């Protein structure tokens, strides 16, 4: 199992350029080229203190599942689906470790966290079987699938999944991509201001990661770096402005984000 990260370095020479590499024993082993296709070691290594983590990949979209855990399905009183139910979070919703979750301009309602496992696609992927799907999974990351909850059912005729979940900074992923995660024996733990709010076993998932990749690859071609957010389970809740939210998965790490402290104004861009 390896841990891939992306980062910037603020030294004059690197000038904020985004690099990537492996995290090993608290050191960063720099690579170059394409993370998903035979990246090469540069020979440079860094201390963690020298870098700032960014999102570990740059998805063209985040495919986010709804109702994919037995426990949440039972609580909602809604049967598990016959096919993964998903919405699309646009590329512009992306946020990385440490990034601020920004309250949408003009929205003063609840902003909700959803800690989730994220599948990172490694190769262009269309109509693959469950057996083939493993070849197309690069690894796993933590996701906070943030939602402007009060917009979801604002219109009685059309649930606004893409709008409520698509705002800039509402697709938090990171801190790293773990290859070869033993997800069956792992929990998703979400804390809000240090208090545990979610702690659910990934073994309770309805569609397994490989089933999701296979099924969704029949709905659209998936691209390298795309993320499938596997859906959340019990314990979803809202975050006050200024809150700190952390999603942890053993083997991947902890994704930490903060909700913006003040209401953005109409003048803010």
Task: State the residues that interact with its own copies by CB under 8 A.
Answer: 60-61, 66-67, 78-79, 81-83, 85-88, 90-93, 104-106, 126-127, 154-155, 157-163, 166-168, 218-223, 266, 268-269
**From CA 189, how far away is CA 232, in angstroms rounded?**
11
Residue among 28 and 57 whose Cβ is closer to its own copies: 57
**Residues 43, 23: contact at Cβ < 8 Å?**
no
CA 167 vs CA 54, 107, 111, 223: distances in Å: 18, 11, 11, 21
- Min. distance of Cβ 89 from its own copies in angstroms? 8
**Six-digit token pair at 261?**
């402290």
Residue among 31 and 136 whose Cβ is closer to its own copies: 136
- Min. distance of Cβ 109 from its own copies in angstroms? 13
- Min. distance of Cβ 218 from its own copies in angstroms? 6
Residue among 82 and 262 whose Cβ is closer to its own copies: 82
**Six-digit token pair at 62?**
């985040």
- Min. distance of Cβ 163 from its own copies in angstroms? 5
Residue among 114 and 246 whose Cβ is closer to its own copies: 114
First to last CA, the chain: 41
Q: Could you tell me which of 209, 30, 216, 185 has the C-alpha nearest to residue 117?
A: 209
């Amino acid at each position: 199992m390896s841990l891939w990260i992306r980062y910037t370095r603020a030294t004059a020479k690197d000038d904020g350029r985004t690099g990537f590499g492996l995290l090993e024993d608290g050191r960063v082993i720099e690579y170059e080229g394409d993370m998903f296709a035979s990246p090469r070691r540069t020979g440079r290594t860094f201390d963690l203190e020298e870098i700032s983590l960014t999102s570990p990949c740059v998805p063209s979209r985040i495919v986010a599942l709804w109702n994919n855990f037995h426990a949440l399905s039972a609580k909602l009183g809604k049967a598990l689906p016959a096919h993964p139910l998903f919405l699309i979070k646009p590329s512009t919703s992306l946020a990385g470790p440490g990034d601020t979750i920004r309250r949408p301009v003009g929205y003063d309602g609840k902003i909700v966290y959803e800690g989730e496992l994220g599948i990172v696609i490694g190769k262009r992927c269309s109509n693959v079987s469950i057996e083939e799907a493993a070849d197309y999974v690069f690894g796993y990351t933590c996701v906070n699938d943030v939602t402007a909850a009060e917009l979801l059912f604002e219109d009685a005729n059309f649930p606004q999944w893409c709008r409520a979940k698509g705002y800039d900074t509402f697709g938090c992923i990171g801190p790293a991509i773990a290859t070869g995660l033993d997800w069956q024996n792992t929990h998703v733990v979400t804390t809000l201001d240090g208090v545990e709010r979610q702690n659910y076993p990934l073994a309770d998932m309805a569609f397994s990661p490989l089933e999701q990749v296979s099924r969704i690859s029949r709905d659209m071609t998936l691209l390298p770096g795309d993320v499938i957010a596997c859906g959340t389970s019990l314990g979803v809740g809202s975050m006050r402005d200024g809150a700190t939210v952390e999603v942890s998965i053993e083997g991947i790490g902890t994704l930490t984000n903060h909700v913006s402290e003040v209401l953005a104004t109409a003048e803010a861009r």
